[in-house]
Structure 1
C-alpha cells in the first residue's frame, strides 16, 4: 500500500510556476535593456547611462537567481520529505515535525521538534546573492537618478546663460 501524500507536503506549483515565468521574463528583459544601454545605442551622456545599464544587469542577475532557486523547489519531484531527509543527518530528520516553503526568497525549511530548522532543496547561496544583487541594483539606480538630475540642472543653467 502506498503512503498517502497530502497537498501541504509539496510546494504549490502555481505560485512557483508564475514566479519562474515572471522571473525569467524579467531577467531576459533586464539583460536586453542593460546591454543595449551599456552598448551606447540607448545610453544617455555621462555616467548615469553606465549606472543605469549596470543596475539593470544587477537586477537581471537577482531575477536569474530567483528563477534558479524557484526551479529547485519546482523540480524537486521527491517532495519536501525527501528533500529534508537528503539535507540532514538521520537523527535530525527523525525529529522533523513540519515543513515551510517561502517563495521570496525561494526556500524550503525543515522544522525540528526542538525549535531549530534547516534549509533543504534550494542552494544556500541563493538568498544572500539575491540580496547582494538587489542592493547593488538599488544603489546604482539611485546613482543614475542623482547623476541624471544633476546633469539636467547643469544643462538648464548653461542654456539660461546663453
Structure 2
C-alpha cells in the first residue's frame, strides 16, 4: 500500500525516538567534556617531569574515546534533526527523485548510525548520515581500545621493573 506524498511528509521515522537520541547526545556531551577535563588535568599536573610511555598511550586512548563520542554525536544530530520535510529531501538527495517517489516509510538505527528510506516494493537505501561517520567512529574506537590496552601493559611493565623500596627498622 503506497502513501500519498502529503501523508508521507507528516510521517516520522520508525524506531526514531528523538527524546532518547537527545538524551544519548546529552550524556555524550557530558562524557566528552569530562574526558577532556581529565586529559587536561592529567597533562597539566605532570609538566615538571618527562611523561612515561604509559601516560602517552593513556592520553592517546582518551583522545580516541573523545573522537569516538564526538563522531557519534555528530551523526546522531544528523539523524535527530531529520524533520518530515528534510526526510523527503534527504531521500531524494541520496537516491534521486525516482527512488524518493517510491519511499513509503523511514527508519533509523542508533548503532551503526543510519537513516534509511524504505521503498514500498521492499528495498531500502541509506540517507542523511555522512558516509565518513561510522567508519571513522569505528577506527577511533579500535584505536582507543588498542592504546588503552598498551597503556595498561606499559604501566604494569613499569611497576614490575621499577625497584621496590623497602624500609629497614
TM tier, smaller: 0.7 to 0.9
Output the aligned Cα RMSD. Answer: 2.8
Distance 1:17 1:38 in 2: 31
- In structure 1, the partner of 2:130 is 123
Q: 1:24 aligns with which of 11, 29, 32?
A: 29
* 1:160 CA drift (Å): 7.2
Structure 2-normalised TM-score?
Answer: 0.79
Distance 1:95 1:13 in 2: 25
Q: Which has the higher contact order (CA 8 A, sep 6+)?
A: 2
> Per the alignment, do residues 86 and 22 of structure 1 end up closer, same or farther by CA in structure 2, a change over 3 Å counting?
same
Residues 1:103 and 2:110 aligned together:
yes
In structure 1, list runs of 5 or more residues that go unmatched.
Answer: none
Residues 1:34 and 2:61 aligned together:
no
* 1:21 CA drift (Å): 0.2
Distance 1:104 1:159 in 2: 47
Q: 1:60 aligns with which of 61, 66, 73?
A: 66
After superposition, what is the alpha-carbon deviation per residue over 1:78-108, rounded to whole angstroms, capped at 9, x for unaligned? 3533421232211222333442201123210
Instruction: Select between 98-107 and 16-25 the one with higher mean Cα deviation.
Output: 98-107
Instruction: Select between 20-29 and 84-93 the one with higher mean Cα deviation.
Output: 84-93
- In structure 2, the partner of 1:138 is 145
Q: Say how many residue pairs are matched.
A: 159
Query: Do 1:9 and 1:79's aligned partners in 2 also have CA atoms closer than 8 Å?
Result: no
Distance 2:103 2:81 in 1: 22
* 1:38 CA drift (Å): 3.5
Q: Report SS of the residue matched to 1:88.
A: helix
- In structure 2, the partner of 1:89 is 96
Instruction: Select between 119-128 and 70-79 the one with higher mean Cα deviation.
Output: 70-79
Structure 1-normalised TM-score?
Answer: 0.82
Query: Do 1:10 and 1:79's aligned partners in 2 also have CA atoms closer than 8 Å?
Result: no
> Per the alignment, do residues 115 and 147 of structure 1 end up closer, same or farther by CA in structure 2, a change over 3 Å counting?
farther
